[in-house]
Amino acid sequence: MKFGQQKRRHRGSSIASTCVVKLLRGIDFEELPLPLTIGTRPAFAWEVTDENTSASHAIKYPHWQRQFEAALVEGDPQSLRQRVDAAESALFLRLQALGESAEGDEERQAISEAMGTLRAIQREKLGYPEWNTK
Amino acid sequence: MPAKRILIVDDNAVVRSLVRRLFESQSDFEISGEAENGRDAIDKAEKLKPDLIILDLVMPVMTGLDAAPLLKQLLPDVLIILFTQQEGSEVERLAQAAGIDAVVSKSQVASELFLKAQVLLASLGRQKDRAKFRNAS
């Protein structure tokens, strides 16, 4: 798939997405713990796009994959919470943007798995309490 | 009718911002405060006396499920909506046992949360009206 095609596919114009975009206007992202774009090279899920370009790979889920992978590889315990928060924010915002469109099913599944991984990091590395021990 | 006061409880600032904007866009709601975990929620609820609490499940210090019974003990009339990434019958069962009034998944569009809040608050209003009527007659 060419990069442009993938980009167009992500530009859903559902009513739900429009509402979320309106709601997000005015949020000062500078005040968030970390910028939503973190320049960490993704470790997996590269997708071959155009062999003639220098950036010959594109990540599969550009809205959240970088942030997620940055959380996975973060070694500094002080920064881990911020990385996890940034990844969680990106995943949540992407879910909202996807809305209820049927075409996002595969990505929703990937988001669900990524969320599960973040939960494990929160529990095992950040000391979050278990919620399902009752 | 006075605006319904809402306490937003989530450890993630982006989620809190989105929920805040969702409810602030409606005149019948006002955000009374925000909290970052279950323990913080109990402290804020005691001071702010909200009508509705939007409560995350997975948080540091104290989970939403651990905070909910304490919040209900503190404010028996408060409505609690669990707004969570976790889905399924296990979450529903534990939420009900903790006294939570409704569960809304974060994978649903945020407007679902708003609709659920409206329905719950309207239903609480009807219950109070019926109780007043019974006491008067």
d(CA A7, CA B66): 42
Check whether A12 has a pLDDT greater than 80. no
**Token duo for residue B93:** 């069962």
Closest CA to A55 of A9, A3, A10: A3
Residue A23 has a pLDDT of 53
What residue numbers bound the domain in which B132 lies?
4-136
Q: Are B55 and B68 in contact (CB under 8 A)?
A: yes
Q: Is A39 helix (H, G, I), strand (E, B) or coil?
A: coil
Taking each helix axis from N to C end, the angle separating B38-48 and B64-74, rounded to the nearest 10 degrees, works out to 20
Query: How big, in percent rounded to 5, are the helix, strand and coil portions of chain A?
Result: 55, 5, 40
Q: Are A129 and B63 in contact (CB under 8 A)?
A: yes
Residue A61 has a pLDDT of 94
Q: Are B59 and B38 in contact (CB under 8 A)?
A: yes
Check whether B58 has a pLDDT greater than 60. yes
Residue B10 has a pLDDT of 97
Check whether B101 has a pLDDT greater than 80. yes
- Predicted confidence band at B88 (pLDDT cuts at 50, 70, 90)? confident
Total domains in the fold of chain B = 1
Inter-chain Cβ pairs, chain A and chain B, closer than 8 A: 85
Check whether B63 has a pLDDT greater than 70. yes
Mutate to test the interface with B, among A30, A63, A132 (most CBs of B within 10 A): A132
| Residue B14: CATH number of its domain | 3.40.50.2300
H or E stretch at B33: strand B29-35
Give the distance from residue B131's alpha carbon to the nearest chain A alpha carbon, in angstroms: 35
The mean predicted confidence, pLDDT, of chain A is 71
